[in-house]
Structures are given as C-alpha cells and as structure tokens.
C-alpha cells in the first residue's frame, strides 16, 4: 500500500497543507516548530485510527471548529478523518464510522528521537512504548490492554470513594486478573520473539560480537495469585486511592553483555540497540501481518552517526518512508 498524498485542514498549526508523497522516500524539511511532526502524526492517525501524541481536542487548530485529514493512496482509495470538536468520524469508500475498522488499519513503524532514550527512561515510558508496538502486532493484545485499562480505571474510581468495601471492587478484580493474565502471556511471548533476534540484528548494525537481550519483568505470576494479591492489598489500596499491584507495573529491561544496558552501554551502543528494535518490529509486522509497514522517521537522522544513518536507509529500502529533518525554510 503506497500513500500518494495527504491534506491537512486545521490540524495543529496547519490551516491548509498538502504533502505529495514519493513511493519510496519523502523528506519533510523545516525549522523546529513549523509542524513537521504533525504531518507524521496525521499519517499515523489515518493508518492506525488515533494519534500517537494527543487527544483530538488538543490537535484541533486554535480557533477552528473542526479538523480534517484526507489521505489518498496510489490505487485510488481515499480515507477522510473529520473531528468536529466533539466526535471523530472516518469515511472510507463512502462509508462512515466512528472508529477505524481493523481491516482498514495499516501497520506503521514509528521512530521518534525520544525512542533513543528508551534504555534510560522510566518503566512507564518503556511500558507505553511496548504497548504501542505489541498492540499493532497482536489484536488480542490491544483488546486485552483496552479492557484491562477500563477495569483498572473503574476499580481506582471506586477506591477513591469514602465508603467502599472489598465486595464493591470484586467484579473489577476478576476482570483485572483475567485480562492481566492475557497481557502477561502476550508480553512474555512477544519479548521472547524479540530476544531470539536481538543479538544477531544488533551485531549486523554495530559490527561487533556484543550480546544483547530484552527481559520482561512482572510481579504477576498467574491469574489466581493475582486475584489473591488484589484481595490482600484492598485496605492499602483503599487508603492510597489506587490499585498498587498488577501488570500495569510491569517493566522491561534492555541488557548489554548480560548486565543492564543503562550505565554499561555507550551512547552509540544504545542507539544501535534501539535501531535493532525498530528493524525487528518491522520484521515481525511482515511475519505476523503479511504487510510491509510504512516507516515514519521523526528527526532521528540528526541523532545518528553516518554509519547508523546508512544502516537505517539500507534496511528500510523496501518500505515507503516519510521522514522529517531540520533545515532551512518552512513547510
């Protein structure tokens, strides 16, 4: 699937903007603050159904009553997204829907500058990163994550009430353990698949014999023990007003030669690890979904040396790539 063009109306700072895309690589050059990332955000929203940065009301251009994204494919198909200040609607082949259908989603490998800080970031940042990656690779994962987060939100709201007992949260405890166990299983499986490829892909980039691994760390062992822990921790949770145990506290650790990469790997070695993760993500998309993902690179070339830039270009030579870069002039 090849993107031909994308038109933005009242999207972020863009009152009316059109980008004509090349079949292979499209480069968007402009100064910081001129809305380059917003264009990638719009592409992501059309292909995945939501922004990777914000909610709709934050995207709407100041003073505007609506925003509109219109994306045309080379094969003649068109997707239109309209947000009227209250609701969002997708128009595909003369059919309108409030959510982008699964069959109409198209995979994306997104590479942001912040991704290069993944090794030293917080557990929350790493969870969010892998939730986005895994949600695209597995429909079961994205469904379980949405249902788990809904149950967690409902339980936490009950815990904030002045009068609440353990019976009030029991039904949500059951749902948390059910969907939490599903998430734990999917995370373990996907991390294992990444780890099997990680060192070889890393060595192809760094051209050395270092050993790389990704560990998944969860305090949850199984569904029954999860439920027991929630029941045992109810009084503490009631006092603090939130659920203190569960897979929403899971963590991921990247290791370099069998020790934590944060503190042991150099800046260049860390960058090679993250590039390897992106290459593996693209490979897993093709293996699991049978589609060649669109690659969005948001100003990452300025963070990479020449060797890693060339490696990135070579690996994604068969993908449609849209990238941003800081340069003279405005869009």
On whether the CB atoms of residues 43 and 11 are closer than 8 A, the answer is no
pLDDT of residue 120: 93
Sheet containing strand 14-20, strands side by side:
14-20, 3-11, 67-73, 78-83, 88-92, 95-97
Distance CA 207, CA 220 (A): 38
Calculate the alpha carbon distances from 60 to 36, 112, 296 in Å.
16, 22, 22
pLDDT of residue 327: 65
pLDDT of residue 72: 96
> What stretch of H or E contains 172?
helix 166-206
Q: What is residue 80's three-state secondary structure? A: strand
| Sign of the alpha-carbon torsion through 141, 137, 51, 34 | positive
pLDDT of residue 225: 94
pLDDT of residue 265: 94
Q: Name the architecture of domain 1-106+294-331.
A: 3-Layer(aba) Sandwich (3.40)
pLDDT of residue 291: 95
Structure-block tokens of residue 194 = 């990444």
Matching fold, domains 1-106+294-331 and 119-292: no
Structure-block tokens of residue 51 = 């922004």
On whether the CB atoms of residues 316 and 21 are closer than 8 A, the answer is no
* Beta strand pairing call for 212-217 and 108-111: unpaired
* Beta strand pairing call for 294-298 and 321-326: parallel
Calculate the alpha carbon distances from 94 to 32, 43, 90 in Å.
37, 20, 10
Superfamily grouping for domain 119-292: RecF/RecN/SMC, N-terminal domain (1.20.1050.90)
Distance CA 149, CA 185 (A): 16
pLDDT by residue, tens only, the chain of 331 residues: 799 999 999 999 999 999 999 999 999 998 888 999 999 999 999 999 999 999 999 999 999 999 999 999 999 999 999 999 999 999 998 899 999 998 899 999 999 999 999 999 999 999 999 999 999 999 999 999 999 999 999 999 999 998 999 999 999 999 999 999 999 999 999 999 999 999 999 999 999 999 999 999 999 999 999 999 999 999 999 999 999 999 999 999 999 999 999 999 999 999 999 999 999 999 999 999 999 999 999 999 888 999 999 999 999 999 999 999 986 444 4
pTM above 0.75, yes or no: yes
pLDDT of residue 331: 43
pLDDT of residue 293: 97
* The residue to which tokens 């969010």 are assigned: 128
Q: Where are the domains of the chain?
A: 1-106+294-331, 119-292
């Amino acid at each position: 699937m090849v993107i031909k063009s994308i038109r933005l109306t009242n999207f972020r700072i863009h009152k009316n903007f059109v980008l004509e895309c090349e079949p292979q690589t499209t480069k968007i050059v402009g100064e910081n603050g001129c809305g380059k990332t917003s264009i990638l955000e719009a592409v992501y929203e059309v292909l995945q159904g939501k922004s990777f940065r914000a909610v709709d009301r934050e995207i709407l251009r100041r003073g505007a009553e609506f925003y509109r994204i219109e994306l045309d494919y080379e094969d003649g198909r068109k997707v239109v997204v309209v947000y009227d200040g209250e609701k969002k609607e997708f128009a595909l082949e003369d059919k309108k829907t409030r959510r982008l259908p699964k069959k109409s989603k198209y995979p994306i490998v997104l590479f942001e500058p912040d991704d290069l800080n993944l090794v030293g970031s917080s557990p929350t940042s790493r969870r969010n990163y892998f939730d986005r990656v895994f949600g695209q690779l597995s429909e079961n994962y994205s469904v379980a994550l949405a249902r788990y987060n809904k149950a967690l939100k409902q339980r936490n709201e009950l815990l904030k009430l002045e009068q609440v007992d353990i019976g009030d949260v029991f039904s949500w405890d059951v749902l948390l353990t059910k969907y939490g166990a599903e998430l734990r299983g999917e995370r373990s499986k996907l991390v294992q698949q990444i780890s099997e490829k990680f060192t070889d892909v890393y060595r192809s980039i760094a051209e050395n014999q270092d050993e790389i691994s990704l560990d998944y760390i969860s305090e949850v062992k199984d569904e029954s023990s999860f439920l027991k822990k929630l029941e045992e921790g109810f009084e503490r949770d009631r006092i603090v007003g939130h659920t203190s145990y569960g897979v929403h506290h899971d963590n991921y650790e990247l290791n370099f030669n069998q020790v934590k990469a944060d503190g042991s790997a150099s800046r260049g070695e860390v960058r090679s690890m993250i590039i390897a993760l992106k290459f593996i993500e693209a490979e897993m998309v093709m293996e699991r979904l049978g589609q060649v993902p669109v690659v969005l690179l948001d100003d990452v070339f300025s963070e990479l040396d020449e060797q890693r830039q060339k490696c990135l270009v070579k690996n994604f030579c068969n993908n449609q790539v849209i990238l941003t870069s800081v340069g003279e002039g405005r869009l």
